């Protein structure tokens, strides 16, 4: 059988592309190399407990807000999303002092103005700017706006410079940046649009998903199959074979050939090009350009199963910093922990005590590169010792701020950038895909198109990362197949 659309990778972007195409009558086949769907959404279970890998919370999900509109389109609003505390969805501990983040622009300003009363007007200016970015997020689907509005101009501006111009208090700059372990803080490169769009979405509203992010992937896959599509696990693509300037079929590791009219890859663009062994369309200069692009930092995660009734569940995230400059936590120095996020999993039994928590810290590829090429569960004692030591350091670091954690730990499971590389196929275990650079927008902001007419890209390395960013990108990708007018009609734009 020859499919209309063949998709490589069953992460969020790949599954959303499959959903859109199937919804519009295309025959779809999604190929996933692993046994679990979802990419960074996938979960794992240990001793009856569910642990997330890359998903922790979402923003802009109140009824009518941007992600809710998208998830309504993708038939995902039936999932058990739980709203986080509106007056305290995030906590930033900086220089030993706790700062409260609240949903809603006025509430957000009021909460931080309690600690920075002299910055109230600057905080108002800050949220006014963010709200304009969020309000106009769907303008990206109107090409006439791209050159004149935020999506073009703000990608070419510095996020850090904007904060310096907006606030006159250095501590406040660090505090408003303090929830940004969900993106890579890098003064020299981070575009203003990336910072503004992501932070705006969480100020609007914040939600967790009871039972883990894997439900998103499972729901999309089930709907694709209901609409006549195919989702194949254990289907590792070894090569995309070009014939007469077009991809003709995907050759799997078992020798099976999957023919298609159009191919979409949700893998990292460099990994995608590695699959095209021979091509009359992809020139060496293009390959070099993509493979030389820098990738964002990776993450180390300590997934912690807690002893029963030892740590109260908090319906908020906690960010802890042991540095005066939160913008240096992703600087590649793995010798000490400078900042950490602790995220609580919604108790599946509805109890007031947490069952498990995740501690997440940045980790560079250099910290694990020596074990690249080894197999999962066969990396050796030195690697295991490194992970155990880092997990202990995570617990010690957070216990300075949450003392009861120390005695609440039952079992710790760990992941590194190498884990992400092996399970999610992210180059160098990057947590946020290709690094966008406001100094070099044209080179680092990729479009779905490739030099091969029927090979498209999707996923976090193109436009924006995160649940909202990837969902937007999936629509841009499929617009190349079903048409931008169709996408806009679907979203009632």
Residues 376 and 415: beta-carbon distance below 8 Å: no
CA distance 429 to 433: 9
First and final CA of the chain: distance in angstroms?
Answer: 36
Residues with Cβ within 8 Å of 4's Cβ and at least 6 positions away in sequence, in order, are 21, 26, 27, 28, 260, 261, 262
Q: Is the dihedral of CA 345, 348, 352, 354 positive or negative?
A: negative
Q: What angle do CA 84, 86, 89 make, to 5 degrees?
A: 55
Residues 104 and 60: beta-carbon distance below 8 Å: no
- Confidence check: pLDDT of 462 > 70: yes
Write down how long the chain is. Answer: 493
Residues 71 and 472: beta-carbon distance below 8 Å: no
CA distance 122 to 116: 10
Q: How many Cβ atoms sit within 10 Å of the Cβ of residue 91?
A: 20
From residue 305, how far is each of 80, 90, 166, 362, 413 by CA, in Å? 22, 22, 41, 21, 8
What's the pLDDT score for residue 144?
56
Residues 302-346 have pLDDT tens digits of 999 999 999 999 999 999 999 999 999 999 899 999 999 999 999
HSE at residue 331, side-chain half, CA atoms within 13 A, is: 14
Dig out the tokens for 125 from the structure.
């200016």
Q: Which DSSP symbol is given to 54?
A: S
State CA 121 to chain mean position distance.
32
Residues 115-171 have pLDDT tens digits of 999 999 999 999 999 999 999 999 888 755 444 444 458 999 999 999 999 999 999
Residues 394-451 have pLDDT tens digits of 999 999 999 999 999 999 999 999 998 988 878 899 999 999 999 998 889 899 999 9
What's the pLDDT score for residue 357?
96
To which residue do tokens 């919370």 refer?
57
Residues 249-266 have pLDDT tens digits of 999 999 999 999 999 999
What's the pLDDT score for residue 174?
98
State CA 66 to chain mean position distance.
16
Provide the β-strand partners of residue 93: 98, 320
Q: How many Cβ atoms sit within 10 Å of the Cβ of residue 482?
A: 19
From residue 458, how far is each of 7, 98, 241 by CA, in Å? 10, 38, 19
Dig out the tokens for 207 from the structure.
């939600």
Which structural domains are found in the chain, ordered by start? 2-79+211-293+434-490 (3.50.50.60), 103-204 (no CATH), 298-363+369-415 (no CATH)
Q: Is 78 helix (H, G, I), strand (E, B) or coil?
A: coil
Residues 73-114 have pLDDT tens digits of 999 999 999 999 999 999 999 999 999 999 999 999 999 999
């Amino acid at each position: 059988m020859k499919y209309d659309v063949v998709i490589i990778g069953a992460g969020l972007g790949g599954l959303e592309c499959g959903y859109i195409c199937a919804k519009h009558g295309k025959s779809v086949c999604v190929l996933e190399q692993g046994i679990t769907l979802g990419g960074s959404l996938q979960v794992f279970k240990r001793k009856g407990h569910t642990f997330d890998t890359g998903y922790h919370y979402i923003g802009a999900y109140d009824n009518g807000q941007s992600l809710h509109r998208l998830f309504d389109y993708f038939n995902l609003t039936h999932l058990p999303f739980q709203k986080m505390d509106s007056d305290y969805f995030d906590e930033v501990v900086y220089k030993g002092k706790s700062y409260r983040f609240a949903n809603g622009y006025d509430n957000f300003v009021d909460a931080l103005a309690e600690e920075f009363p002299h910055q109230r007007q600057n905080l108002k200016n800050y949220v006014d700017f963010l709200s304009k970015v969020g309000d106009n997020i769907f303008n990206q689907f109107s090409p006439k706006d791209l050159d004149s509005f935020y999506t073009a101009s703000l990608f070419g501006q510095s996020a850090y410079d904007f904060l310096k111009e907006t606030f006159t208090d250095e501590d406040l700059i660090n505090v408003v940046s303090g929830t940004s372990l969900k993106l890579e803080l890098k003064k020299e490169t981070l575009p203003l649009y990336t910072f503004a769009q992501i932070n705006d979405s969480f100020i609007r509203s914040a939600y967790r998903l009871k039972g883990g992010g894997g439900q998103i992937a499972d729901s999309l896959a089930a709907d694709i199959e209901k609409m006549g599509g195919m989702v194949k696990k254990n289907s590792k693509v070894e090569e995309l074979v070009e014939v007469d300037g077009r991809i003709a079929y995907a050759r799997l590791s078992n020798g099976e050939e999957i023919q298609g009219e159009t191919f979409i890859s949700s893998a990292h663009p460099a990994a995608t090009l590695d699959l095209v062994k021979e091509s009359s369309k992809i020139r060496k200069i293009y390959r070099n350009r993509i493979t030389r692009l820098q990738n964002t930092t990776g993450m180390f995660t300590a997934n912690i199963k807690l002893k029963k009734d030892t740590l109260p569940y908090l319906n908020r995230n906690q960010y802890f910093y042991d540095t005066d400059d939160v913008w240096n936590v992703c600087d590649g120095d793995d010798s000490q922990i400078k900042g950490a996020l602790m995220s609580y999993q919604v108790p599946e039994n509805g109890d007031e005590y947490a069952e498990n928590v995740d501690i997440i810290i940045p980790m560079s590829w250099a910290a694990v590169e020596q074990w690249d090429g080894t197999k999962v569960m066969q990396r050796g004692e030195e690697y295991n010792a490194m992970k155990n030591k880092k997990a202990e350091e995570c617990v010690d670091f957070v216990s300075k701020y949450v003392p009861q954690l120390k005695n609440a730990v039952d079992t710790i499971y760990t992941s590194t950038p190498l884990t992400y590389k092996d399970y999610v196929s992210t180059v160098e275990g990057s947590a946020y895909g290709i690094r966008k650079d406001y100094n070099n927008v044209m080179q680092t902001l990729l479009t779905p198109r490739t030099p091969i007419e029927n090979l498209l890209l999707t996923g976090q390395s193109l436009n924006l990362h995160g649940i909202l960013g990837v969902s937007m990108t999936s629509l841009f990708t499929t617009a190349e197949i079903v048409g931008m007018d169709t996408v806009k009609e679907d979203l009632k734009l």
